[in-house]
Amino acid sequence: MASFSRIGVSSEVGGVRSSSGGDDGVGTLMEFVGKRGVDVGDELVVLFHHIQYACKRIAALVASPFNSTLGKHSGLGGGGGAGGSDRDAPKPLDIVSNEIILSSLRNSGKVAVMASEEDDFPVWISDDGPFVVVTDPLDGSRNIDASIPTGTIFGIYNRLVELDHLPKEEKTMLNSLQSGLKLVAAVYVLYSSATILCTSFGSGTHAFTLDHSTGDFILTHPNIKIPPRGQIYSVNDARYFDWPQGLRQYIDTVRQGKGKYPKKYSARYICSLVADFHRTLMYGGVAMNPRSHLRLVYEANPLSFLVEQAGGRGSDGKIRILSIQPVKLHQRLPLFLGSPEDIEELESYGNVQQKVNPGYEV
């Protein structure tokens, strides 16, 4: 296994032809971001070294038999973060993951601002850091006691040097509220049967699988292309009767095989955004939450960037996600991610955004 990155290994997942490289290929994540791969520049290489280190620590934490005892330690419980309801209150593993990421970004020396879903306000880290990082440190942690897959999401922007003259609080916030169109890179990491890091620098989407024997992320899915259309939809359809007419009509149509694709769709729903998105990226279809629940800055923008770079689309049900200018740090919206033909068909039904949530918080 130590020589895995040098062995030509290929596989086909969901119609995606993948290879680990071979003798002349790029084997590891750090080789890929360096001069042997996409050559993103030395500063971004350093940042990715620290991001992958943080995610390997979180992967080990998630898999640890002792993670359920974290909440018993003082200082790890409690509320705060993200300005949400009790239902969104951070779990201990969220807090620990957030601290791991903040520490790694500080140590990189390359980050000016970090904004996290777990914090009420962004953090100014360094006056000369060239990058701004937004993150959801541990998506899906509500289900972690059941060993359901979880994930981490990152969006990376250039620091807006034109704002350097502003007071620290103001420039910290404005740097964090950049449009998704300005993303330099995006990442999600899936913690499941394998730990997979998927990233894009604006020239395709590529996935790397953690080789636990070497500690390297190995390129296993270069240039992912989402199928133009899938046969799976992913949504909490227990809320069917709360949905608007357009969304109910769309789901009724495709699961009966009466849509533009004459096959019956299947439902697959994990209730972990990174996991549902990863499957959709591999197999096609649509992953969605029609409520104004998911966060534009930390979740919708990075994942939309990644799916677009794989040939798919990210939408709020009406317009392109990346075209939406954030106005609040924890701004929420409906989110539909997936195959371009599936998203186009869904949008054609018009009224697909769920505006009311009767009984949901009870």
Active site residue ranges: 88, 94, 117-118, 136, 138-139, 299
Decide if 337 contacts 303 (C-beta within 8 A): yes
Burial 110-119 (b: 16+ CB within 10 A, else e): bbbbbbbbbb
Pair 160, 175: CB distance under 8 Å: yes
User: Whose CA is closest to 14, among 268, 320, 290, 358?
Assistant: 268
Q: What is the largest distance, in Å, between two alpha-carbon atoms of the chain?
A: 58
What length is written for the chain? 362
> Who's near 39: CB < 8 A, 6+ residues apart?
33
